[in-house]
Amino acid sequence: MSDANGYDCEVVIAGGGYAGLAAARALGARALVIDQHQLGAVQRSACAMPLDIAHRFGVASAVLQVFPTGLLHTPYSTSRYRLEPPYCVFDHARLCADLFAQTDARYLRARVLGVADLDATGGTVLTSAGPVRGRVLIDATGWPAVLATARRPALAERRRLTVGMEAEVPGTSEHLHFYFDQRFVRNGYAWVFPAGDTLRIGVGAYDRHTRLSGALADFLRHLGYEGKACRGGLIPWFQRPATVDGIFLAGDAAGQCLPLTAEGIRFALVFGELAGELIGAVLDGRLSRAQGEARYAQALAEHWRRASYFRFFQRLVRPIGSRGVDFVARALALRPVAPRLVRRYAAWSN
Tens digits of residue pLDDT in 40-83: 999 988 899 999 999 999 999 999 999 999 999 999 999 999 99
Residue 306 to residue 252: CA distance in whole angstroms: 17
The reported pLDDT for the residue numbered 2 is 37
Asked whether the predicted pLDDT for residue 3 surpasses 60, the reply is no
SS3 172: coil
- Please give the DSSP secondary-structure letter assigned to residue 185: -
Residue 167 to residue 157: CA distance in whole angstroms: 27
Residue 329 to residue 181: CA distance in whole angstroms: 13
The reported pLDDT for the residue numbered 350 is 65
Residue 244 to residue 154: CA distance in whole angstroms: 12
Please choose, from the candidates 331, 313, 344, 126, the residue with its C-alpha nearest in 3D space to the C-alpha of residue 237: 313
The reported pLDDT for the residue numbered 209 is 74
Residue 181 to residue 154: CA distance in whole angstroms: 34
Query: Mean per-residue pLDDT for 109-138?
Result: 95
Residue 163's Cβ-side half-sphere holds a number of Cα atoms within 13 Å equal to 14
The reported pLDDT for the residue numbered 345 is 83
Q: What are the pLDDT digits (tens) for 234-269?
A: 888 888 999 999 999 999 999 999 999 889 999 999
Please choose, from the candidates 213, 189, 158, 211, the residue with its C-alpha nearest in 3D space to the C-alpha of residue 74: 189
Q: How far is CA 315 from the centre of its chain?
A: 21
pTM assigned to the model: 0.94
pLDDT band at 7 (very low <50, low <70, confident <90, very high): low
The reported pLDDT for the residue numbered 155 is 87
The reported pLDDT for the residue numbered 218 is 95
In contact, 134 and 10? CB cutoff 8 Å = yes
Please choose, from the candidates 312, 324, 242, 237, the residue with its C-alpha nearest in 3D space to the C-alpha of residue 279: 242
The reported pLDDT for the residue numbered 234 is 87
Output the average pLDDT for the chain: 92
